[in-house]
Amino acid sequence: MAKYLLIESRDAFDSKDTTTYGALAADLARDGNTVTLFLVQNGVLTARPSTQAAVLTAAIKAGVEVLADDFSLRERGIPVSRLVAGVKAAPLDTVIDHLAEGRKALFH
Amino acid sequence: MAGKKLTFALMDSAFESARTTTAMRLIDIAARRGYDITVFAYEGAVMLPFAKQEQHANKVHGREVEEENHPLPRKFIASMMTEAKKNGGSLDWINCGLCVDERGAGEAIEGVRRGAPPDFWKAAETTDNTLVIATR
Amino acid sequence: MKALNIIETAYRATIEEQDDTVVWLTHAMKGAGADLSVLLRGNAVNYAVKTQDASGLSFGDTKQTQPPRLAEDITRLIGKGVEVYIVEEDVAERGLERTDLIDGLKPVPRAGMPKLFAGFDRVWHW
């Protein structure tokens, strides 16, 4: 199976399509692929526990690794200690690592 | 990880979207690693290396030009070109020609070249990976 | 190398550009020999609607003489051998019927995305 990097720059409060994108990540993982969902920009707003956390929780349950850009978190005053369970902070370098690894990469 | 080749396609113009900052951050990481980087600037992104961008003062911040030190994408790009080269890599910035024409963006910084969609496809075929950061 | 262009944002600058810039880009790359397919999702499924008409705009005494013809551009892509997929649920959610759309499209359910993506070396989301 393949490895995927799905980058989410939009947040669930602004864009309904983030639900579909998160579901895509989950579907890819359930299909046997290795999937990372990397939140960046306002995408990290969904990483703070809120009414919109369900899409991330579902992705994690499906086996998706969910990471949040540490700079985007700090920029928005979201402490690493206060993220949706299972979401980890990570440097943006991770995206370059995954690109260099050859993962199929999508930016939403 | 030296020796890797990456392609990016960008679409956003300067000063309009956080996507541009993310793109610049990614290119910077790759430049520091000494990768060979190709950027295909499509549509509004051809304004990113526009040579006539200028800094300004900011009375709301209470700062004059020098202190405000307003970011200019053209400076970021020039600096990353130097950084990539310093680390054994390169940053090849291709502006989509028709996009340049319709925007009057012909004056770009040194090192930027004019191209067309087949250049993007060729870069995507010959590099290790490609990330498209489109606009909305 | 096979690549899938996913087009989601719709009607962004289509009047100023007289086309959709990603549909246009796909035409240009195909013409240069690229092995590309297209997936229309989100609002971009509306590009397949037969009855779109953006003609008649003018600004001062400057008339737009070549309005975008998006459905025609998609049809021409199909004619060039580009497979154009369209997400079934996005069509249905927007109240569209199959008869509203141009011919030649390949409907795919959301659950079919993993299998679709598996057939491509690169998947680009525009």
Chain C contact present for A28, CB below 8 A: yes
Whole-number pLDDT of residue B2:
59
Question: Average pLDDT of chain B?
Answer: 96
CB C118 to CB A2 under 8 A? yes
Closest by Cβ to A106, choosing from C111, C114, C125: C125
Round to whole Å and give the CA distance between A6 and A54.
17
Q: Which domain does C47 fall in, by range?
A: 2-125
Domain coordinates in residue numbering, chain A = 3-107
CB contacts, 8 Å: A102 with chain B: 128-129
Which segments of chain B have a pLDDT < 70? Answer: 1-2
Name which of A18, A107, A108 to mutate to probe chain B: the one with the most chain B Cβ atoms within 10 A of its Cβ: A107
* pLDDT (mean) for C97-120: 97
| pTM (global) more than 0.80 | yes
DSSP of C11-64 = SSSHHHHTS-HHHHHHHHHHHTT-EEEEEE-GGGGGGGBTT------EETTEE-
* pLDDT (mean) for A75-81: 95
* pLDDT (mean) for C98-118: 97
| Closest approach of C24 to chain A, Cα-based (Å) | 20
* pLDDT (mean) for C45-55: 96
What's the CATH number where B37 sits? 3.40.1260.10
Round to whole Å and give the CA distance between C18 and C38.
19
Name which of A11, A40, A99 to mutate to probe chain B: the one with the most chain B Cβ atoms within 10 A of its Cβ: A99
- The first and second tokens of residue B58, run together, are 């900011």
Q: What is the pLDDT of residues A13-50, one digit of tens each?
A: 999 999 999 999 999 999 999 999 999 999 999 999 99
Question: Average pLDDT of chain A?
Answer: 97
Q: Which of residues 33-72 of A touch B (CB under 8 A)?
A: 40-42, 71
* pLDDT (mean) for A54-63: 97
CB contacts, 8 Å: C115 with chain A: 31
Question: Average pLDDT of chain C?
Answer: 96
Residue A101 has pLDDT above 90, yes or no: yes
Task: State the chains in contact with A (3 or more Cβ–Cβ pairs under 8 Å).
Answer: B, C
| Closest approach of B7 to chain C, Cα-based (Å) | 12
Chain A contact present for B2, CB below 8 A: no
Share of chain C above pLDDT 90, in %: 100
Q: How many CB pairs under 8 A join B and C?
A: 40
Whole-number pLDDT of residue C58:
93
Question: What's the domain count of chain B?
Answer: 1
CB contacts, 8 Å: B30 with chain A: 96
Chain C contact present for A107, CB below 8 A: yes
* pLDDT (mean) for C59-71: 94
Question: What's the domain count of chain C?
Answer: 1
Integer angstrom CA distances of residue C122 from B69, B132, C36, C54? 39, 10, 10, 33
Whole-number pLDDT of residue B33:
98
ipTM over 0.90: yes
Instruction: Residues A3-107: name the CATH superfamily.
Output: DsrEFH-like (3.40.1260.10)
CB B124 to CB C126 under 8 A? no
Round to whole Å and give the CA distance between C11 and B131.
23
Chain B contact present for A108, CB below 8 A: no
Integer angstrom CA distances of residue B8 from A43, A106, B93, C66, C89? 20, 12, 10, 31, 31
What's the CATH number where C84 sits? 3.40.1260.10
